[in-house]
Amino acid sequence: MSECLGCENPTKVTLRTGTVVCNTCEEWRLECEARWALDTLPDRPEKKRTKKLRLTRGQYLEDVKAARGVDQYMRLRSTMLAILSDQKNGRAF
Ligand SMILES: [Zn+2]
């Protein structure tokens, strides 16, 4: 199953689902963003005395919803949840 929407970039990458797409495909971009958010953003507000509090994952998702719409929000959210569930199952990636 290919998720390529037509960019047909010769550089291929494998999604967590095993689907091979180009490294310019939207599906790959989405997965990278989901991994970035999970690696970088806290899942709840940090209780530190710093004034620059980072966005939480939930706040980031709300920003995505506001900026890109509900569809993109749902896709990013479900990708993040899928990656989290992979991690819980101890799958390597
Ligand atoms: Zn593509």
Q: What is the pLDDT of residue 6?
A: 84
Continuous segment of H or E residues that includes residue 1: none
Domain ranges, residue 70: 26-88
Instruction: Report yes or no on 15 lying in a domain.
Output: no
Q: What is the pLDDT of residue 2?
A: 54
State how far the Cα of 29 lies from the Cα of 43, in Å rounded to an integer.
Answer: 21
Q: What is the pLDDT of residue 44?
A: 85
Q: Which residues of 59-89 are buried (b: 16+ CB within 10 A; e: fewer)?
A: ebbeebbeeeeeebbebbbebbeebeeeeee
Per-residue pLDDT of the chain (93 residues; tens, 9 = 90+): 456 878 889 999 999 999 999 999 999 999 999 999 999 998 888 776 666 667 899 999 999 999 999 999 999 999 999 999 988 876 544
Distance 30 CA to ligand 1 centre (A): 13
Instruction: Report yes or no on 93 lying in a domain.
Output: no
**pTM for the structure as a whole:** 0.82
Distance 34 CA to ligand 1 centre (A): 18
Give per-residue pLDDT as tens, 58-72: 999 999 999 999 999
Distance 82 CA to ligand 1 centre (A): 21
State how far the Cα of 66 lies from the Cα of 46, in Å rounded to an integer.
Answer: 23
State how far the Cα of 47 lies from the Cα of 67, in Å rounded to an integer.
Answer: 27
Instruction: Report yes or no on 12 lying in a domain.
Output: no
Instruction: Report yes or no on 5 lying in a domain.
Output: no
